Amino acid sequence: MIRLALFLAAVVATASPSFAAAQAAEQAIDLATPTGTLRGTLTLPPGAARVPVVLVIAGSGPTDRDGNTPLAAGRNDSLKMLAAALADLGLASVRYDKRGVAASSAAARAESELRFDHYVDDAAAWVGQLARDPRFTGVAVLGHSEGSLIGMLAAQRSPAAAFVSVAGPATKAADLLRRQLQGRLPPDLAARSDEILGALEAGRTVDDVPAALMVLYRPSVQPYLVSWFRHSPAEAIAALRMPCLVVQGGTDLQVGVADARALQTANPACRLEIADGMNHVLKTVPPDPREQLASYGDPARPLDAGFAQALARFLSAPSTRAALGAR
């Protein structure tokens, strides 16, 4: 876990060496929904009375509250490390398994019934629950990757007081998918993928999906994609009226610095921070593809120090502290 004692004294006025050395406390926290319970982890900084709390929203697919996915070999524990870093800053955090993921799997609707806005509604409900909790002075939302867009929209539907986008795309999901698939499919499949994406963007589902593309466009997931493709991250962040931070890693092979700049352009009031050596799972990793792949399953790699420092600068800023009711 990353420890920020070396620079907190200069960045956060309330920090002290003994505070950073103490251990944060973790406990279970749940959110009841009409279709089942979402399970999460509350991390509390040591010795705190009433403090701000950060809701951490994981990225796409079956990524769990700690930042891990069964699609990768091993764990990276990036979001678990993030919770520890936030505790070092004197902030509580809640990270949770989204519906259908890990311990929240029982809350899932059938895949064909799931919509992107269910994730947004869940995140907004978490914010509402935390805002009513007397232990917390205010709620910030931090979304990673796909969680960035979920967080932007949830912040508009809830009493969130601040927002942080980490590795968040600026373009609509269909355009991001096109970009990620470019050059990776044979010409016939690439053409068919473009046709399917166009139909889904127009709100139409597609029956005749090639077997090689079924993992992306299987019929049961198409309604979710239609609901997701409607949302524009640039439009969503432009609507925010709260302290806002956009953080992007310079060695992220999935989302680029151009996305972060586009988000900040859409809302110039947002602070922009580039963590030069950080990749998509928030670790310090060079752009070498082999090292990148290894980092997705390596919990021994610490959280990127530049990322932690960017969070410290934003969360200790007077405007952010005032919005969160921090003393």
Which tens digit of pLDDT belongs to each residue from 28-41? 999 999 999 999 99
Looking at every residue in the chain, the average pLDDT score rounds to 92
Average pLDDT over residues 144-155: 98
- The answer on pLDDT for 19 being more than 50 is no
pLDDT level of residue 12 (50, 70, 90 thresholds): very low
Classify 5-171+231-323 by CATH class.
alpha beta
Average of pLDDT values for 277-301? 96
- Residue 202 has a pLDDT of 97
pLDDT tops 50 at residue 305: yes
Q: Identify the bridge partners of residue 37 per DSSP, sorted by sequence position.
A: 32
Residues 209-234, mean pLDDT to the nearest whole number: 97
Reply yes or no on whether the pLDDT at 155 is more than 70: yes
Other beta carbons within 10 angstroms of residue 134's beta carbon come to 6
Is the pLDDT reported for residue 292 higher than 80? yes
Query: Rounded to whole angstroms, how far apart are CA atoms 1 and 202?
Result: 45
Q: What is the mean pLDDT of residues 86-90?
A: 95
* R_g over Cα of the chain: 19
Query: In sequence order, which residues have a C-beta less than 8 Å from that of residue 101 and are 6 or more positions away?
Result: 58, 62, 63, 64
Tens of pLDDT, residue by residue over 237-268, are 999 999 999 999 999 999 999 999 999 999 99
Cα gap 325→319, rounded to integer Å: 10
pLDDT score recorded for residue 48: 66
Grade residue 153 by pLDDT with cuts at 50, 70 and 90: very high
AA identity, residue 311: L
pTM value? 0.91
Between 60 and 260, residue with greater pLDDT: 260
Query: For residues 144 and 81, what is the distance between their CA atoms, to the nearest angstrom?
Result: 13
Round to whole Å and give the CA distance between 152 and 163. Answer: 7
Which single residue is written with the structure tokens 């962040």?
Answer: 237
Per the document, the length of the chain is: 327
Write out the two tokens for 309. 């420092």
Beta strands 244-249 and 271-275: pairing type? Answer: parallel
* Rounded alpha-carbon distances, angstroms, from residue 181 to 137, 213, 289, 292: 43, 11, 16, 18
Residue for token digits 């151009």? 258
C-alpha span between 289 and 286 (Å, rounded):
8
Question: What's 24's DSSP letter?
Answer: P
Name which of 67, 76, 82 is nearest 298 in CA terms.
Answer: 76
pLDDT of residue 47: 84
Mean pLDDT calculated for residue range 105-134 = 95
Question: Looking at the predicted structure, is the pLDDT value of residue 1 above 60?
Answer: no
**What's the CA gap between 228 and 154, in Å, rounded?**
14
* Residue 23 pLDDT: 77
- For residue 21, what are the contacts with CB-CB under 8 A and spacing of at least 6? 3, 5
What does 64-100 look like in DSSP terms, one character per residue? -TTS--TTSSS---HHHHHHHHHHHTT-EEEEEPPTT
How does pLDDT run across 268-288, given as a tens digit for each residue? 999 999 999 999 999 999 999
Domain boundaries defined on the chain: 5-171+231-323, 173-230
245 vs 49, which has greater pLDDT?
245
- pLDDT over 90 at 151, yes or no: yes
Residue 43 to residue 23: CA distance in whole angstroms: 10
Residue 15 banded pLDDT, cuts 50, 70, 90: very low
Q: Identify the pLDDT of residue 219.
A: 97
Phi, psi of 62 (to 5 degrees): -85, 35
pLDDT of residue 6: 21
Alpha-carbon gap, residue 313 to 310, rounded angstroms: 5
Return the bridge partners of 274, or none.
248
d(CA 224, CA 118): 10
Q: How confident is residue 22, by pLDDT bands cut at 50, 70 and 90?
A: low
